[in-house]
Amino acid sequence: MSRVLVVGSLNADLVVRTERFPAPGETVPGEDLAVGPGGKGANQAVAAARLGGDVGMVGAVGDDAHGELVREAVAAAGVDAGRVAVRAGARTGTAVITVDAAADNTIVVSPGANRTLSADDLPPFDGVAVLTLSLEIPLGTVLAAARAARAAGTTVVLNLSPYGPVPDGLLEATDVLVVNEHEAARLGTHPVARTVVTRGARGCDVDDAGAVTTVDAWPVDPADACDSTGSGDAFLAAVAVRLAAGDSLPAAACYAVRAGAFAVTVAGAQLPEITGPVRARFEL
């Protein structure tokens, strides 16, 4: 079994770039539609593999062209996609993404086959060092995965995105919680002892069982900022890879801010191959 396992979503991303976001009821011009692989789970798996992790993916796609696109992209990145199920007659999850001139984005997700992922699809967690979870799959499946992984001694890393109420016991089964500052404010007090709160261009705050560290963001020239869509997933993936390698949580977060910064400089939700010059520039 892979050292890092992602149980999560796989989507086709439908992306339109525009100068600014429309106001309610307004129509604005955009560039040509781009279709690419995405989904928080798939993005995390690809990023973890690109960052050198031994990664497996559990998820579900439809038996359509989008499903073939997404599944092949995950496998091409070096992820073990053997447990990505193809559901007959289902549509692959889809995300409609708008990116403005400042590289900010809005996203609307249609779950499709992701909503079919169940506890029956989960593998044994023996030998898995780190499990990453987010909330684009059924919450019951997220809870089952967290509890099974915790019982097997796997470190459970949970990203509360897209934010919403979670089942009783999920946070109790979480070892490391990764949230942005808005999600942290909505969540309030919680039982997870190890937490990373990301703050965009202001870096992140790490609470490692009471030891609090502030990690500065990795600087990105505004002229190089291209697309922030995959930054959060790259951050989470980097945390998982470094925890699996034995790093402390603050050290993993220091690495993750560099991965997140790199993600902002490339178009699309999934990290491309990380070349020598890129690794040197971002110290990856």
Q: Which residues are part of the catalytic machinery?
A: 233
Which residues partner with 176 through β-bridges? 157, 194
Rounded to the nearest 10 degrees, how much is the dihedral formed by the CA atoms of 202, 250, 6, 150?
Answer: -130
Q: Provide long-range contacts, Cβ within 8 A and 24+ apart, for 139-145.
A: 139/166, 139/167, 139/170, 140/167, 141/7, 141/117, 142/7, 142/166, 142/167, 142/170, 143/167, 143/169, 143/170, 143/173, 144/119, 145/7, 145/58, 145/119
Distance in angstroms (rounded) separating the CA atoms of residues 167 and 172: 10
